[in-house]
Each structure stands twice: as structure tokens, then as C-alpha cells.
Amino acid sequence: MNSLCRNISLTRSLHTGRVLLKETPRNLKGKKHSSQLWLERQLRDPYVEKAKQEKYRCRSAFKLLEINERFKILNPGLTVVDCGAAPGSWTQVATNLTNANGKKEGPVGRVYAVDKLPFYPVEGATVLGNMDFTNIKTQETLNKLLQGDKVDVVLSDMAPNASGIREIDHDNIMLLAYAALRFALQISKAQSTFVVKIWDGGKMQQFEQNLLKFYSSVRAIRPDATRNESTETFLLARRFKGLKTS
């Protein structure tokens, strides 16, 4: 997942409810121009403040929340695996919506968060930090935790470090998307759901066609929380057909 989001204090306008920047960011001397632009963008971004208020680790939480609001993919009692989960905002959303944290009455779900990076625990989730989901040992560990059960939802908000060269960045994120898909096919139960982030590019259409080989429907989604300048799209694949066994 994207690198850790930083909490930045904002000034809010009480009569409009909109986030306003009332002064120029301070202490920018010596910072690169790109860093200055990043900071100014963060200060003007309402989702950064909203994430802070609602105690999400990153603004990306609102992308998954919107996807779920529209398509109801996360429900109490479901088992979810979050690939490339750090810093954990999608894991937070998943634990709340599946009731993996047991804070509501009714079915209690299970959420497993896997990332190469270490990250802080999320209440209600099993965090597998410093672990690569493509590694056999990681998959063996996860299978033991699942105790033979299959998964209802696989999530992937992973993205590589951007080089700034669109074609290269697209190729790199497609490699991650295919890795997540192969993983999902191994651990998912029939009729399950797969959500994966990609960046627009020439290989997107072929990837959608490949998804349709294994899932009954595929939909491209661009949540409102996606920044205007971003090329990201989320593909929602539903109703896994299962793998044929010889």
C-alpha cells in the first residue's frame, strides 16, 4: 500500500464545512519543490483531515468505504485478506465492516493483513508484517491460520514506488496486480470477491479479460477520494468461479 500518510492540522470554515488553507505552509526553506507541492496538496485535501478525525491511518480508507457502500462487499462474519496492507487503513475498514474486532453483536469476521513492511497492529486483525504474500512460507503461515478455510474477500491497494515514467509505472503495478490475482485464486472460496488497484495503461484491458476467466463480473471503479491527477482505478471482480481440479 502507499507509504504512511502524515497527519496535518487544518483550519476548517464553520459556515461552509469546507477545508480552507488560511496561510502558506511554513518551514519550507530547503525543501525540494516536489516536497513543497506535496505538503500544500495535503493541506488542501479534505480526506486527510477526515482520516485524522475518524482515526484512519491514511486517506485511502475512504476509497474502500465508498466501494463497500456502493457494492456491499464487506459484511459481518466474512474472512478477508488484505495484501500489501501497510500502513493499515484498508485493514481498519475491513475489521470494522466484518466485525472482526467483535465490537458489534452478530457474526464475527476474520481479517489477515500481509505486508513486506512492519506496521502497527490493527485491533481485530491478524497482522503479518515483514512477510511477502508471494512467498511460500508466508502462504503456509496464512493457511495454518485459516485452518483449512477459504477466503471471502481479497483486497489489494498495493502500488510500486512511482518512477514518473508512466509506461514503466504501469508495467510495475500490473506485475503486482497479477501477483495478487494468483494469490487470490489459491486462497479464495467460490463466489468470493477480489479488489485490486491498477494504474491506467495499455495492459489494463487484457487484465480485465483475464479476470473474467475466473470471476463472473468485473467492474472498474474510481472512488471520489481518488485525487484528480491520479491515474488509479480499482477493479472489482465478483463471484469467483472456482478452480477446476483434474
- The answer to whether 63 is a known catalytic residue is no
pLDDT given at position 78: 98
- 113 and 24 in one domain? no
pLDDT given at position 126: 98
- 155 and 68 in one domain? yes
Longest CA pairwise span in the chain (Å): 66
In eight-state DSSP terms, residue 12 is E
Q: Based on the number of CB atoms within 10 Å of its own CB, is 150 exposed (0-12), middle (13-18) or buried (19 or more)?
A: middle
Number of compact structural domains in the chain: 2
- 128 and 185 in one domain? yes
pLDDT given at position 12: 31
**What's the pTM?**
0.82
pLDDT given at position 47: 77
Kindly report the backbone phi and psi dihedral angles of residue 208, in degrees, each rounded to the nearest multiple of 5, phi listed first.
-60, -40
Asked whether residue 195 is domain-assigned, the answer is yes
Asked if the bond preceding 87 is cis, omega within 30° of 0, the reply is: yes
pLDDT given at position 19: 36
Report yes or no: 229 and 186 within 8 Å, Cβ to Cβ: no
- 98 and 44 in one domain? no
- 147 and 38 in one domain? no
Asked whether residue 5 is domain-assigned, the answer is no
Report yes or no: 59 and 225 within 8 Å, Cβ to Cβ: yes
- 78 and 15 in one domain? no
- 140 and 29 in one domain? no
- 83 and 99 in one domain? yes
Asked whether residue 65 is domain-assigned, the answer is yes
pLDDT digit of tens for each residue in the chain (246 aa)? 544 443 333 323 222 233 333 334 455 555 554 455 445 555 567 778 888 988 899 989 999 999 999 999 999 999 999 999 999 999 999 999 999 999 999 999 999 999 999 989 999 999 999 999 999 999 999 999 999 999 999 999 999 988 989 999 999 999 999 999 999 999 999 999 999 999 999 999 999 999 999 999 999 999 998 888 889 999 999 999 998 765
Range of the structural domain that residue 95 is part of: 61-240
- 102 and 16 in one domain? no
- 105 and 22 in one domain? no
Q: Which of 116, 150, 189, 197 is catalytic?
A: 197
Asked whether residue 246 is domain-assigned, the answer is no
Report yes or no: 119 and 129 within 8 Å, Cβ to Cβ: yes
Asked whether residue 4 is domain-assigned, the answer is no
Q: Which region holds residue 213: left if phi is over 0, alpha if psi is between -120 and 50, else beta?
A: alpha
